[in-house]
A and B are shown apart, each in its own frame.
Chain A
Amino acid sequence: MAEHESHEFDVVVVGAGGAGLRAAIEASAQGARTALVCKSLLGKAHTVMAEGGIAAALGNVYPDDDWRVHFRDTLRGGKLLNNWRMVQIQAQEAPDRVLELEEWGALFDRTEDGRILQRDFGGHRYARLAHVGDRTGLEMIRTLQHHAVHKGIDVFMECTITCLLKDDERIAGAFGYWRESGRFLLFNAPAVVLATGGIGKAYKITSNSWEYTGDGHALALWAGADLIDMECVQFHPTGMVWPPSVRGILVTEGVRGDGGVLRNADGDRFMFGYIPQMFRAETADTEEEADRWYTDKQNARRTPDLLPRDEVARAINTETKEGRGSPHGGVYLDIANRRDAEYIKRRLPSMYHQFLQLADVDITREAMEVGPTCHYMMGGVRVDAETQASTVPGLFAAGEVAGGAHGANRLGGNSLSDLLVFGRRAGLHAAEYARGLTARPTVDPGQIDELARHALRPFDAAGSENPYAIQQDLQECMHALVGIIRTEDELAKALEELAMLQDRASRVRVEGHRQYNPGWHLALDLGPLLAVSECITRAALERRESRGAQTRDDYPTTDPELAKINVVVRQQTGELSTALETRPPLPDDLAKLLEDA
């Protein structure tokens, strides 16, 4: 058998961002022997880059806020495609999860009376985001990291999982390699929690780091689990656009929450021209009213600059396409006009720092240039709302890799509360599942040789394809053909190109040896990248309407009937297949919350 080390655990958590850390903490607290596996060093996962805040209806700034309003905002923001039970759970449990972080040492910015301060964000009716300046993710990951470390959880750093193993229908473990040494390891474990984040590296312009190659989505798919809503890829409206090397780096929505407005090259606040019917009643239709809203939220309606992300991203896309963009193909985002330098530096320190250092722009005096950047995957592993269990026994998923909570479009701030709420639930139920088993599933050792051989193929392949070149071509393809605006022709063309890329990937070759070799790591990441890209493209073809992040030029309207279905992608007999499946209807009591304006 191929050389490898073996480990025995009850629960293996793959991914150590907010969801993975919270899951591991919970599983461990339940008494499960828990492993936390992370692709990077601990504390560097994508959560660290989250900026604006954690959406939770604490009601500290607006006592009128409660879970019902949060529920309503999230479902409307998601264009009604969300798993309503997940939305309800998240809205109800988020405040407790935030207070728990405080109990573990997090220090959120404070209100005058010493409670947790909350800030305005797109699509949230009330100021709802608990935050620390514009570095909330850092506070969150560090707090969870310290807590996990003090609980003595076993952490496997710089370790990548390449395959899940099953015993019949059930999960039996996971197989992967140490990045540092290139050596293989096998986890024997009856329960696996996927918390691997998203897929941004399938796109050319993205706010995501190298890690975001859709690993968990692909691991689940290959293990036979259902994926849903894969067509729903969020483009954040405000990424940096200049200089080219920083294109895509995130500019927090907090800039708009704290008073920044969008303008086109003509100086027009163009968002007033893009207010959709669904949000008309609660959105200001004059600049005068929008400006008044910053100081008088009771009597003025909110600015359209804070419409949900899908609306703003599409608007910016249209403005630039129609020739009203900034010199570098974005639009202007200006906060200096409304706020003084001291306020900006206190509320948005890393934005100030980032623009000054990387773009020579002083945001306390000048406008930023911004444009859409691939940011977040709404779609993912189909899970049970209560337990986060996937359709494969023993496999759980939480955070970005899980589908359903955000429907067709996620509201800002809802990701961080999602990680905490569903991370905890996944850890809890994975531990319970493992405890409830009468016999531990076992790994068939025969699989190990095959997995090892597959992983090492890039070293001795006859081919000559450069993994970096394939990834770059994939990113070009997805950006051009499966981007913000889609058509059937382009999606079909993308499938052809993906097939060719898949073929090239089978001939990928890497130089050097197994020890810390990024070329090899990327060659292995191409597998999940290509798999999720195909899932996204196929799902986008199937949803013949425009809803949230899925915008079809050939089906420009929203079809109310299609709110009732999920596009499901699965791979159970080797071939990828898609299906349109009906979702459980929204119960009357919750439907009523949507009507209350």
Chain B
Amino acid sequence: MTPRTVTMRVWRGDASGGDLKDYQVAAEEGEVVLDVLHRLQATQANDLAVRWNCKAGKCGSCSAEVNGVPRLTCMTRMNLLPPDEPITITPLRTFPVIRDLVTDVSFNYEKAKQAPAFKPRPREPDGTHRMRQQDIDRVQEFHKCIECFLCQDVCHFIRDHDDNKAAFAGPRMFVRYAELEMHPLDTNDRRQLLQDREGLGMCNITKCCTEVCPEGIHITDNAIIPLKERVVDARYDPVLWIGRKLRRRKS
């Protein structure tokens, strides 16, 4: 098959502003959006800023918005996009632009620091940790997260509301909390924190995050909703409440 020429409409600019710019680029059979961006970079725009690493959907670096939809550009096949229209590529909107398609995602790394660490129970007498596969299936689903931050990008609570970021950790971090809270070995309790500081209550479960997850993690159903239930249990169950008071007094 001979290569076709496509119009790539790419946002070029930096924190001070920018514009969409059209480029005519060759696209070959089987290619993904990132391939065409790389060709554009190599032949016409050497300084086009693009993040990428594995080019196989495993590292979550090349996130951008393709025709307005948050996607991994390395897993977006060109033949899935309308053939005769320009393909618009813009940076993730929720994070401040650094340059072109590269954004400042440090928000996510700052939030990650706040999550209280994993704290395992002691090992069995034989030196092992015994866990049944069925007891870790759910947590392994959360561990699939590649930190592409598409869920953070699409979350309307912070997408166009920078002010909300201080008090809201976002879907990625709720998945992280869920994996810690549901880890069979973990002994920390992060429920109070989730409600008071991380803004779990602000999520109104519209499932936008679940829809864009390239790993197919059921963010809303398997992570956020069960976390909300746990928080409610902890806050309103009087027996638990007294138990917590007593434990706190002891320590």
Q: Which residues of A contact B (CB under 8 A)?
A: 40-46, 48-49, 99, 102-105, 107, 109-110, 113-115, 132-133, 135, 137-139, 142, 146-147, 149-150, 157, 180, 209-211, 242-246, 249-250, 350, 353-354, 357-359, 466-469, 472, 510-513, 515-520
Contact = CB atoms under 8 A, between A and B. Distances in A.
Contacts of A472: 42
A114 B131 contact: yes
Nearest to B53: A209
B46 A146 contact: no
Interface in B19-68: 28-32, 35, 41-43, 46-61
Contact of B29 (A244, A250, A519): A244
Contacts of B185: 105
B164 to A, nearest CB: 23
A357 B46 contact: no
25 contacts: A40-B51, A40-B53, A41-B51, A41-B61, A44-B59, A48-B54, A102-B129, A105-B180, A110-B132, A114-B131, A135-B144, A138-B58, A142-B143, A209-B54, A353-B57, A466-B46, A467-B46, A468-B42, A472-B42, A511-B46, A512-B46, A512-B47, A515-B98, A518-B41, A518-B48
Contact of B31 (A109, A115, A139, A243): A243
Given A245-B30, A357-B77, A358-B75, A519 B53 contact: no
Contact of B133 (A99, A110, A149, A244): A110
B234 interface: no
B143 A139 contact: yes
Q: Which of B29, B55, B120 has the largest count of A CB atoms less than 10 A from its CB?
A: B55
Contacts of A146: 112, 117-118
Contacts, number: 165
Nearest to A50: B58
Nearest to B38: A468
A135 B214 CA distance: 15
What are the 6 closest A-B residue pairs judged by CB atoms, nearest first? A243-B30, A519-B46, A512-B47, A114-B130, A468-B42, A105-B118
Contact of B99 (A107, A113, A467, A515): A515
Interface string B129-169: 11111001001100111110000000000000000000000
A49 B113 contact: no
Nearest to B127: A99
A49 B55 CA distance: 10
B71 to A, nearest CB: 12
Given A107-B183, A517-B47, A518-B50, A245 B35 contact: yes
B112 A113 contact: no
Nearest to B139: A107
A41 B108 CA distance: 11
B52 to A, nearest CB: 7
Given A103-B123, A246-B56, A466-B42, 6 more contacts: A110-B136, A142-B143, A149-B113, A245-B32, A250-B56, A519-B46
A135 B58 contact: yes
A132 B140 CA distance: 8
Contacts of A358: 30, 32, 56, 75, 77
B14 interface: yes
Contacts of B6: none
Contacts of A114: 128, 130-132
Contacts of A48: 53-54, 58-59, 146
A545 to B, nearest CB: 35
Contacts of B132: 110, 114
Contacts of B29: 243-244
A113 B133 CA distance: 9
B100 interface: yes
A510 B49 CA distance: 13
A174 to B, nearest CB: 22
Q: Which of B14, B59, B60, B133 has the largest count of A CB atoms less than 10 A from its CB?
A: B59
Given A44-B61, A48-B58, A114-B132, A242 B147 contact: no
B117 A209 contact: no
Given A209-B55, A354-B57, A138 B99 contact: no
B95 to A, nearest CB: 12
A110 B58 CA distance: 23
A245 B41 CA distance: 16
Given A110-B133, A245-B32, A358-B32, A44 B57 contact: no
B31 A42 contact: no
Contacts of A210: 52-53
Contacts of A42: 109
